[in-house]
Amino acid sequence: MGITVSPHSLALYSFSSNLGATVTNFKFGDVNVILGYPNVSDYLLAENPYSGATIGRVANRIANAELSLPLAGQESHKLISNDTYSKKGASYPPSLHYGIFAGPEVKKEGSKSVVTFKLQSPHMDAGFPGDIDVLAIYTLSEEHGKVTLEFEYQAVLDENSSVDETVVALTNHSYFTVSNGPTVEGTEVRLASNSILGINQDTLIPDGMITEHPDVPTGTLQPFAIGSAAPVFDNCFVIDKYCPLDTRTTPLKVFAKLFHPDTKVHLEAATTEPAFQFTTGESMTKAPGFCPRAGFALEAQRYVNAVNNPEWIDQVKLKKGETWGSRTTYTVWEE
């Protein structure tokens, strides 16, 4: 899905969008707020860091690519590992980065443009139990010079599935920038929390503790600057300990604000999710056409490795008759 917007003109069109329900472009004025590639073939390269893609069934890292808690009548489930970007042996989860979604269905709802994708993920897809039906709904709107792109995800376990439960945690893997240069250097960042999931440095898997990030000021949405090489971020920040399975029943919470003094462009991210992964894009060194720190990841999500933590698994465990859901918005305007 390619999106081109300006403060006075709103347009929405599709471009190979059913490939992972991928957002290929979100341009505000002269600034490419969401980074993408010009060709479909670029998205199929192994070096693509899943730019703009819907990721799941479970986003972020899963320890040892395995569901180690009893689920769907089995003591454990071995998953397909795709730890392309792992460090020190950390395992990344299997994913639907390039799942072929049905659609898109595009319609207008008043001043809004709505794009809907559908995906049926079969039992044991990438090792996950259960047949699930997924909706990815993207809404683009403009009001008073501010443009908002909303991501809404929904998943249900098919009533005819051979198992009664599975795990789900979807998000979008776009890279954002409000600068008009090759990197995010000079961006002023404000985060709603400095609490992060503590991790085992050898595996990059959460250790079950919540700690504070030393480079984020104490207090809500206090500003700090991003330089050419520091500070470096690749952390899951906690913004809420309460998490219903369908977080769409809770209010949106602002979790990040970005501003660049050269472009005067602001970006405000809000979500119903309990956490978000914030990275400064060091891994983009492998991406064709991009350089390190070309964009930020702002991935609203559930706690990392919740599938293997008995205290967190209710965030992601989906049973028949239940609905998993989330909403996240990214609003852009010019000062």
The amino acid occupying position 309 is: N
97 is annotated as an active-site residue: no
Instruction: Identify the three-state secondary structure at position 293.
Output: coil
**What are the phi and psi torsion angles at 284 (to 5°)?**
-70, 0
Residue ranges of alpha helices (H) inside the chain are 40-43
The amino acid occupying position 204 is: L
Cα–Cα distance for residue pair 168/129, rounded to 1 Å? 10
Torsion from C-alpha of 314, 317, 321, 327, nearest 10 degrees: 80
* Annotated catalytic residue within 77, 97, 173, 260: 173
Q: How far is CA 259 from the centre of its chain?
A: 20
CB 3 within 8 A of CB 10: no
**CA dist list (Å): 178 to 245, 257, 304, 315, 332:** 32, 10, 27, 32, 9
CB 171 within 8 A of CB 56: yes
Question: What is the DSSP track for 185-242?
Answer: TT-EEEES--EEEEE-TTT--EEEEEEE-TTS-SSTTEEEE--SS-S--EEEEE--S-
User: Among all residues, which ones are annotated catalytic?
Assistant: 173
